[in-house]
Amino acid sequence: MRLEDLGLREGINETIAVTFFEDGRPNTAPVGVVVKDGKAKVRLYPSHTRNNVEREGRIWINVVWDPIVFALSTFEDLGEEWFESIKPPILRNALAWCEFECVAVGDGNPAEFELRLRDGSVVRREVRAVNRGFNALLEALICATRIETDAGMRSRIRELSRIVEKCGDSRTKEAFEIVLRRIR
């Protein structure tokens, strides 16, 4: 099994990471899986995801294109109704999932973890053209996570809203509304 077969290619792959709290509840968050020279890693700022990875040494990555899943999981955790399976954790509309063992590398911030592939499969195959509205939504979500520390993020989100309006589908526009509500 190769990273590429599971949809993870060279560069930064925007995915939904699932980890588990001590009480067994799943935690979801968008995370960029960095692939270089056939190896995968993540860089994690302080978050529930990072706490869980540090405690359990495991992360499950879902490859998914749903804009609402990205928007909701940026701000909160998706409930179990969003999953088609909990063990392993697979989101309802995921294209692929993988389980990784996480090995801490160094002690900087963000904390870096090498990811060692343990399991995974392709759940469904979908042909899809690039959509600038979806890409703009992802940018806006990243801006929203930085809004407390960077004053320029609000105007950037306003610029991105024009691209979402012009290029996005209705679900992407709905996801963008979630961003706007959260930053108000």
Across the chain, which distance is largest between two alpha carbons, in Å? 44
141 sits near ligand FMN (criterion: CB under 6 A) = yes
Mark the segment that binds ligand FMN (CB under 6 A) among 82-90, 115-123, 138-146, 158-166: 138-146
Phi, psi for 119 (deg, rounded to 5): -165, 170
Closest contact distance (angstroms) between CB of 72 and ligand FMN is 11
Residue in the block written with tokens 């520390």: 149
String marking each residue 20-59 x if it binds ligand FMN according to CB under 6 A: -------x-xxxx---------xxxx-xxx----------
Beta strands in 37-95 (DSSP E): 39-44, 58-63, 83-85, 90-91
114 sits near ligand FMN (criterion: CB under 6 A) = no
Query: How many chain residues touch ligand FMN (CB under 6 A)?
Result: 20
CA nearest to 163, candidates 153, 155, 174, 173: 173
How far apart CA 38 and CA 10 sit, in angstroms, is: 8
How far apart CA 101 and CA 119 sit, in angstroms, is: 10
156 sits near ligand FMN (criterion: CB under 6 A) = no
Closest contact distance (angstroms) between CB of 24 and ligand FMN is 15
Closest contact distance (angstroms) between CB of 142 and ligand FMN is 5
CA nearest to 179, candidates 140, 150, 131, 124: 140
Mark the segment that binds ligand FMN (CB under 6 A) among 80-88, 114-122, 137-145, 153-161: 137-145
Q: Which residues bind ligand FMN (CB under 6 A)?
A: 14, 27, 29-32, 42-45, 47-49, 74, 77, 110, 138, 141-142, 145
